[in-house]
Amino acid sequence: RKEVEQDPGPFNVPEGATVAFNCTYSNSASQSFFWYRQDCRKEPKLLMSVYSSGNEDGRFTAQLNRASQYISLLIRDSKLSDSATYLCVVNVRSSASKIIFGSGTRLSIRP
Amino acid sequence: DTEVTQTPKHLVMGMTNKKSLKCEQHMGHRAMYWYKQKAKKPPELMFVYSYEKLSINESVPSRFSPECPNSSLLNLHLHALQPEDSALYLCASSQRRGVESGELFFGEGSRLTVL
């Protein structure tokens, strides 16, 4: 089983729609969680950290459920510029901290 | 613009060549990383340096040899590579290793083609 799993998509939604992605992680030693965004042929960039209490940044809301070991990202009022691959990232603190990327979910927003 | 600089941006090499990828950051970060990314796949961790010491090697073949000359520089020496090693090599840095170190700053990557 992969340490971090995501639905690969692609998600193809109209502009203005709300879209949600989930990510599950297998290692209960995972301690911190993040969503990254990667545009085609570009480097990944941090979108937001995910806190236990849930957090919001504009149109983006991230949630963490430690009991079920999943993380979610909700995008409201989607824009064309939101088209990208969204990567779930987990910092697993076992013998040494390892930052593991999920396989990514591709999102395409259509006009 | 990214604050992590990688050179070269593109590299084509033969299987018998020796080349190096370079990475530089001036944000005072003390953890630096090499990731390998194939098309339509997520970045895969290769090496982690913390305070200039190698702390993680993800069972990477010895034809990849990392080096951290100082806290701002990270090199990846390449020798006798195989065509399947062709990929985007991403360097990243973070302020420190530990619980909060998931905030990685990536360079734009070096796109390597092995013929």
Q: Check CB contact under 8 Å for A32 and B55.
A: no
- Burial string for B10-35 (b: 16+ CB within 10 Å, else e) reads ebebeeeeebebbbbbeeebbbbbbb
Question: What type of residue is B12?
Answer: V
Between chain A and chain B, how many beta carbons pairs sit less than 8 Å apart?
Answer: 61
Residues in chain A with pLDDT values less than 70: 94-97
- Model pLDDT for residues A60-82, shown as the tens digit of each residue: 999 999 999 999 999 999 999 99
CA of B2 vs chain A CAs: smallest distance (Å): 9
pLDDT band at B96 (very low <50, low <70, confident <90, very high): low
DSSP string covering B31-51: EEEEEEE-TTS--EEEEEEET
- Model pLDDT for residues B3-62, shown as the tens digit of each residue: 999 999 999 999 989 999 999 999 999 889 999 999 989 999 999 998 899 988 989 999
Exposed (0-12), middle (13-18) or buried (19+): which is A3, by Cβ within 10 Å?
middle
Q: Are B99 and A97 in contact (CB under 8 A)?
A: yes
Q: Check CB contact under 8 Å for B99 and A90.
A: no
Residue in B with minimal Cα distance to A91: B102
Q: Check CB contact under 8 Å for B43 and A45.
A: no
Comparison of pLDDT for A28 and B73, the residue scoring more:
B73
pLDDT of B2 reads 64
pLDDT of A99 reads 84
Does A87 reach chain B within 8 Å, measured CB to CB? yes
> Within 13 Å and on the Cβ side, how many CA atoms surround B31?
21
| Tokens describing residue B67 | 């080096």
| Tokens describing residue A85 | 């691959």
pLDDT of B99 reads 45
pLDDT of A19 reads 96
Q: Are A99 and A1 in contact (CB under 8 A)?
A: no
pLDDT above 60 for B100: no
Q: Give the residue carrying structure tokens 């073949």.
A: B61
- Substitution target in B57, B96, B97 with the highest count of A β-carbons within 10 Å is B97
